[in-house]
Amino acid sequence: MALVNTHFLNLENNYLFADIAKKVNAFRVVHPKADVISLGIGDVTRPLCTAVIEAMRRATEEMATEQGFHGYGPEQGYDFLREAILKNDFRSRGVRLDIDEIFINDGAKSDTGNFQELLHWDNFIGVTDPIYPVYIDSNVMIGRCGNYRNDRWTNVRYMPITAENGFVPELPKGRPVDVIYLCYPNNPTGTVLTKPELRKWVNYALKNDALILFDAAYQAYIRDPQIPHSIYEIRGARKCAVEFRSYSKTAGFTGMRCGYTVVPKEVTVATFEGERIPLNQLWLRRQCTKFNGASYVSQRAAEAIYTEEGKQQVQETIDYYMQNALRMRSVLERLGYECYGGENAPYIWMRTPDGMSSWQFFEALLYGANVVCTPGVGFGPSGEGYVRFTAFGSHEKTEEALERIDKWTQSH
């Protein structure tokens, strides 16, 4: 008899974006002519830049020749891309890493979800709340989170990030956390941590022999020069942190699929006997068994982001989105809404007015202004009473959505 992994059955079967789609569809049935603008899902909309397109074209031409054909590549990725990463993403910020500490992947979702496989099932995980749902769900799948009661997993430490604490998570008290997920700049709140704030977490991890899994998928949106782009800008982090990067938001690669994970050789975890096991070797072993690399064409495309033209073109797109963020924040604040984020991240996190719940506001905005946002509570219990707006739309759609929100707000 083939038995199911019952941990999967513990997952909540509601998926936030499926719920949103259902509600939007219900609205469309009643209002078939309404033109709904979505500032909801966090997917990019601008086309790939020409440097990337040219690189893909060249790589495709190569693949059409006998000499230039590439079959299976190295599981950890091609050196041309890993070298470009070391030079541009790290050395330029004073961080020295080795080439075999970089693992190219097909995007950060897979690795942020898969990395927990290397860890014993009864590690105690801590997450900020609200949070990108992948971190918890992937841990639920192997039975690490306990039971779901009152909107929380019993075996997960939730560390609230709300307006009350300035969106800075407090260090856990009581039972120490073994594995900490941090995502900065943060999805969904759009907020960031300063170096001293991040340093506290690195020091906590070093002191408690904990592991930090640091998701830096939005680092390209940081504008404030004081804000760290990488956790390795903090001394000691290479002993206790793994970092995930993605070209999805950086360069519009959501449909291309390429990113990378940094696993420094100094990061180790313990056996019960007290032996120290380097995660770099385990991850290499895991990847060679379960992953056959990102495609040659997408790695060449990613490499092009680091050329002079590539850097400039990618920056133009980021600036384009950040203009939306700026506009959204200023209009929403003028209308009297309490807003956070949007300064170093493409998300605006807004408190719902008059104590409305996230879903109440979502529906009111949908029916009143025909604009879709994301209910904050979908990212965790502390997201209740907030909604998220994304800056990934076109200028035109964003402006129109803001005009509608303006009219709707003034009219009631």
Ligand X SMILES: *Cc1c(COP(=O)(O)O)cnc(C)c1O
Identify how many contiguous H helices and E strands the chain contains and give both numbers: 13, 17
Edge-first strand listing for the sheet containing 386-390: 338-341, 347-351, 386-390, 374-375
What's the rounded Cα separation, in Å, for the pair 197 and 343?
Answer: 18
Tell me: does residue 212 bind ligand X (CB under 6 A): no
Tell me: does residue 215 bind ligand X (CB under 6 A): yes
Tell me: does residue 45 bind ligand X (CB under 6 A): no
Applying CB under 6 A, which part among 120-128, 246-254, 375-383, 399-407 lies near ligand X? 246-254
Answer whether 129's CB lies under 8 Å from 380's CB.
yes
Binding to ligand X, residues 248-267 (CB under 6 A): 248-249, 254, 259
For residue 225, is the peptide bond before it cis, meaning its omega torsion is within 30 degrees of 0?
no
Alpha helices in 115-269 (DSSP H): 134-140, 195-208, 247-251
For 92, the 3-state DSSP assignment is helix
Residue 235 parent element (H or E): none
What is the closest distance, in whole angstroms, from the C-beta atom of residue 183 to ligand X in the complex? 5
What is the closest distance, in whole angstroms, from the C-beta atom of residue 87 to ligand X in the complex? 21
Which of 318, 331 has the CB closer to ligand X? 318
What is the closest distance, in whole angstroms, from the C-beta atom of residue 187 to ligand X in the complex? 4
Tell me: does residue 184 bind ligand X (CB under 6 A): no
What's the rounded Cα separation, in Å, for the pair 67 and 141?
Answer: 44
What is the closest distance, in whole angstroms, from the C-beta atom of residue 109 to ligand X in the complex? 3
Tell me: does residue 109 bind ligand X (CB under 6 A): yes
Give the pair of three-digit tokens for residue 357.
Answer: 């719940």
Tell me: does residue 246 bind ligand X (CB under 6 A): yes
Tell me: does residue 183 bind ligand X (CB under 6 A): yes
Interface mask (CB under 6 A) for ligand X, residues 15-44, using x and -?
A: ---------------------------x--
Q: Which of 48, 59, 97, 108 binds ligand X (CB under 6 A)?
A: 108
Which of 268, 390 has the CB closer to ligand X? 390
What's the rounded Cα separation, in Å, for the pair 33 and 111?
Answer: 42
What is the closest distance, in whole angstroms, from the C-beta atom of residue 253 to ligand X in the complex? 7
Q: What one-letter code names the amino acid at 98?
A: D
Answer whether 396's CB lies under 8 Å from 352's CB.
no
Tell me: does residue 107 bind ligand X (CB under 6 A): yes
What is the closest distance, in whole angstroms, from the C-beta atom of residue 107 to ligand X in the complex? 3
Binding to ligand X, residues 124-143 (CB under 6 A): 132
- E-assigned strand segments in 114-206: 125-129, 148-149, 152-153, 156-160, 179-183
Applying CB under 6 A, which part among 6-14, 102-110, 149-157, 281-289 lies near ligand X? 102-110
DSSP state of 259: E
What is the closest distance, in whole angstroms, from the C-beta atom of residue 243 to ligand X in the complex? 12
Query: Which of 197, 241, 254, 187 is closest to 219 using CA atoms?
Result: 187
Give residues with Cβ within 8 angstroms of 47, minimum separation 6: 252
Residue nearest to ligand X (CB): 107
Give the pair of three-digit tokens for residue 57.
Answer: 């074209």
Applying CB under 6 A, which part among 28-36, 156-164, 200-208, 245-253 lies near ligand X? 245-253
For 22, the 3-state DSSP assignment is helix
Contact residues for ligand X (CB under 6 A)? 42, 107-109, 112, 132, 183, 187, 215, 217, 246, 248-249, 254, 259
